[in-house]
């Protein structure tokens, strides 16, 4: 039986005969179904978030493993979470079939190696403290299968995020997430709806995990690293918004705390609380 991601989409069958405006409309209409596919797996997403939080709290890691577009989605999340939430770079790791070069250049043959997936996770010394998430639109990528099989042998928790109802990878996973986005606008081009769904899912899960791990105050990224001028302005705004101090005072206090937003917020809150107490005593 042909996987849904490889099926022919009847709504775009004659897309090569359409005008540019019509082509864009067809793609946009198809993309509207992606959020619904993600909404359908929220219970499984919650279970995965709980697993990630548990492993992180125990000193473990979140490890993504994938190939092609799916692998690159894991790379994005692994690269973006540390500066956003102030976690160490080695706590969220992405394993890509074909290695770092495959992030920028297609390496299709690398995904066919189960041994390659096993070797990659062996080099990371994956253990029971970790959670390994396989990303595969087709749900049958050998590289991911090899990695997940090895991870389970080592006692790690495992999950897969796929885009077909039937997936051989599910047998290697404690949690199987199926984002059923259906046939692509261009048959088999899973860089489209399938990838969009995986990106939405990964963003949602890692964000929820970071919130539950205490990396967010209100809805502000108070563990962010203000490493450039734009982020410095954001940090000042965060401090100002949470504590109510003027932006100039926020900047000075941030500098006094070596750019640590959370520490700055706590200092200013304590300072404010002390002033209120002192005022009450005067009354």
Residues annotated catalytic, as ranges: 80, 111
- Determine the longest span between alpha carbons in the chain, in angstroms: 80
What whole-number distance in Å separates Cα of residue 83 and Cα of residue 91? 12
In the sheet that 92-96 helps form, which strands lie side by side, from edge to edge?
Answer: 92-96, 62-66, 131-135, 157-162, 175-178
Please answer whether residues 162 and 139 qualify as being in contact, where contact means their C-beta atoms are separated by less than 8 angstroms. yes
The 3-state DSSP class for residue 44 equals helix
Q: Where are the beta strands (DSSP E) in 53-183?
A: 62-66, 92-96, 131-135, 157-162, 175-178
* Total Cβ atoms within 10 A of residue 105: 8
First to last CA, the chain: 79
């Amino acid at each position: 039986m042909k996987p849904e991601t490889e099926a022919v989409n009847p709504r775009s069958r004659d897309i090569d005969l359409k005008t540019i405006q019509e082509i864009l409309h067809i793609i946009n209409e198809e993309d509207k179904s992606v959020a619904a596919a993600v909404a359908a797996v929220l219970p499984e997403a919650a279970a995965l978030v709980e697993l990630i939080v548990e492993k992180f709290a125990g000193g473990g890691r979140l490890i993504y493993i994938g190939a092609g577009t799916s692998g690159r989605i894991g790379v994005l999340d692994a690269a973006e979470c540390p500066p956003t939430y102030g976690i160490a770079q080695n706590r969220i790791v992405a394993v890509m079939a074909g290695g770092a070069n495959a992030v920028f250049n297609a390496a299709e043959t690398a995904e066919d190696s189960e041994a390659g997936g096993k070797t990659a996770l062996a080099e990371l010394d994956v253990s029971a403290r970790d959670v390994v998430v396989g990303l595969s639109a087709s749900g049958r990528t050998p590289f991911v299968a090899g990695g997940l099989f090895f991870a389970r042998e080592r006692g790690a928790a495992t999950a897969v995020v796929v885009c077909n109802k039937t997936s051989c990878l599910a047998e290697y996973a404690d949690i199987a997430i199926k984002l059923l986005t259906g046939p692509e606008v261009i048959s088999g081009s899973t860089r489209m709806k399938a990838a969009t769904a995986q990106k939405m899912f990964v963003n949602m899960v890692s964000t929820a995990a970071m919130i539950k791990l205490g990396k967010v105050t209100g809805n502000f990224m108070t563990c962010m690293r203000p490493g450039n001028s734009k982020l410095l302005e954001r940090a000042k705004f965060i401090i100002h918004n949470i504590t109510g101090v003027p932006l100039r005072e926020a900047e000075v206090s941030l500098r006094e705390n070596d750019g640590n937003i959370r520490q700055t917020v706590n200092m200013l809150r304590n300072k404010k609380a002390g002033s209120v107490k002192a005022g009450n005593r005067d009354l």
